Amino acid sequence: MATVRELKAAARPKSGKGAARADRRAGRVPGVIYGDNKPPIGVSFDHAEIHQRIYAGRFLTTIYDIVLDGKKHRVIPRDFQLDPVKDLPVHVDFMRLGEGATIRVNIPVRVIGAESSPGVKRGGAVNIVEHTIAVRVRADQIPESIEVDVSDLDINHSRHLSDITLPAGLQVLEAGDATLVTIVPPSGYAEELKAAADAVAAAAATAAAATAAAAAVPKGAPGATPAPDAAKAGDAKAAPAKK
C-alpha cells in the first residue's frame, strides 16, 4: 500500500496573480486542490517544506493528506511550477482522490544489478532510456519504483518493457515494447572492434595470397614441390642394388 504523508496548508481567501505574489513575498507557495466533482480550493504552503518535498524525489507519485482548517483532504500532486531562474517552487496543483480512485501516474525506473553486469565490468555504462513508465493504477497501490535488473546484460544489450515483471495492479500505458535500459560501450570501443576486425581480415588476406602463390608455381619448376610418384622413382634409382 502506498505511504500517505501529511502536509499542512492554509486557506487562500483571495485568488489571482496579485494574491499569489503576496503569498510568495510572505514565504509561502500558492496552490490549488481540485477534482472529485468538488469545487477547487485555493491553498498555500510553507515555502521551505514544499521545496524539500519536491526535491526529495517521488513528489508526483506520493499521496498526501493536506490538513486544512482541521480537515484532511486526500490528494496527489499533479503539477508544480518552478521559477525559471532560481528553480524555486512558485505554484503547486493537487488532485483530490475519491475512495478507490484509479489514476494515471509516471512510475520511476530503478536499475538494479549494475555491479554484476558483464558489460559494466568490461567498461560499459548503464544508460536509462526511459526514466519513467506511464501506468494506470489505484491510488493506494502506487509503487515507489519499477525495478529493471541488468545483472546479465553485456555491452550493446538492452532490457525492454516486455522483459520485466510489473507489480500487480498496474496497467501500462506505454505504446509498444519500449527500451528501458541499455549498456553502452566505453569510449574507443568501436575503434577497438574495427582494429580487431581489420587485423583478422589482413591475416586472412595474407593466408589467401600465400595459398594462391603456391598454387601458381608450375610443376618441375625450381622451388616446386616434386610430385610424390616422381620422388619415389628418384629414390629407387639412387638406391644401390642389393647383392
For residues 37 and 72, membership in a common domain is answered with yes
Q: Residue 220 domain-assigned?
A: no
Q: Residue 240 domain-assigned?
A: no
For residues 65 and 109, membership in a common domain is answered with no
For residues 19 and 35, membership in a common domain is answered with yes
Beta bridge partners of 4: 63
Contact (CB, 8 A) for 63 and 139: yes
Q: Residue 10 domain-assigned?
A: yes
For residues 139 and 174, membership in a common domain is answered with yes
Residue 15 binned pLDDT confidence (cut-offs 50, 70, 90): confident
Summarised one tens digit per residue, pLDDT across range 161-171 is: 999 999 888 99
Distance separating alpha carbons of residues 20 and 92, to the nearest angstrom: 11
Q: Residue 113 domain-assigned?
A: yes
Cβ burial of 106 (10 Å; 0-12, 13-18, 19+) is middle
Please list, in sequence order, all residues whose beta carbon lies within 8 angstroms of the beta carbon of residue 41, skipping any fewer than 6 positions away. 11, 32, 33, 34, 68, 73
- CATH number of the CATH domain containing 110: 2.170.120.20
The helix (H) or strand (E) run that includes residue 133 is strand 132-138
The C-alpha cell of 8 is what? Answer: 499542512
Q: What is the tally of structural domains in the chain? A: 2
Q: How far does Cα 14 stand from its chain's mean position?
A: 44
**Whole domain around residue 128: which residue ranges?**
104-184
- CATH number of the CATH domain containing 91: 2.40.240.10
* Angle at the Cα of 147 from the Cα atoms of 145 and 152, rounded to 5 degrees: 165
Summarised one tens digit per residue, pLDDT across range 216-232 is: 766 655 555 555 554 45
